[in-house]
Amino acid sequence: MKILLYLLNAVFVSGVYSQQEYTLEIPKLGDIDTVVNHVGYAVSYNTKYRQANWVAYMLTKKETEAVVERNNHFIADPFILRSNNQVDYEKSGYDRGHLAPAADMSYSEVTMKESFYFSNISAQLPGFNRGIWKVLEGQVRLWAVEYDSLYITVGPIYTLDMKAIGPDSLAVPNSYYKTILDNHKGKEKMIGFVMNNEKSDRPLESFSVSVDSIEKLVGIDLYPQLSDELEVFLESQVVLENWNFLVKKDKKTTSVKK
């Protein structure tokens, strides 16, 4: 089904296809956007910063069931020129952080391999990548199980004061965003998160923001295929009560109400 949804294993897009040919998680495409549609996710690649503008995918309850193990084999995206950033990370002190998590792509050998393409990787501080960012990734998977399926868009927030690493001047984003949409009829809800690229012990809920505010930060219309009325309604608010936050602590799972 994913292969059919994404038309082909990988397709270059540069204003060739209409927005309607994409699934709900795909942001509005600009005239010069180049999108590669992999089996597990779609990516808009930024050649200037040498990483994604965004990565978007649907995650279902079934897909949260791991079929293959994490392989940790980072490789160039075969459909994007100059996407191998391995040399930039060497002795940099930064993790090769996933945008679409490997654990979200563990439902097949193909999708697991794709999750390690450098087009899906960004330079993240270890305390961030292995800390609050990982907590958010785990929470989203729990929501996919609870709500059956979600539409997810994730990416860096590019700013003029970013530093760069390596011989290719790979950009190091100061912050990242993630948006989640539950589009089940009559139960529609949406939530966004913005997190600085740094270690944090703050509770996950404290990073929640409206999707409208994220769109203003990144200059991208994130869910253009929703009806205008629903898009305005969902993107303008943050209703934490609609989302069952779960926090794992000391191997126990507790529900956080707010």
Mean pLDDT over each residue of the chain, to the nearest integer: 88
Q: Which domain holds residue 251?
A: 2-256
Measured between alpha carbons, how far is 150 from 75 in angstroms, rounded to an integer? 27
How much is the pLDDT for 22? 61
Distance CA 108, CA 68 (A): 6
The CATH number linked to 178 is: 3.40.570.10
pTM over 0.85: yes
The segments of the chain whose pLDDT lies below 70 read 1-22, 32, 247-258
Four-residue CA torsion sign, 38, 99, 54, 138: positive
Q: What domain count does the chain have?
A: 1
The pLDDT, as a whole number, for residue 29 is 87
Report pLDDT for 3.
38
- According to the model, what pLDDT value does residue 160 have? 95
Q: Are 77 and 36 in contact (CB under 8 A)?
A: yes
Angle at 248 between CA 242 and CA 254, to 5 degrees: 55
Residue 2 confidence (pLDDT)? 46
DSSP 243: S
Question: Which DSSP state fits 227?
Answer: -
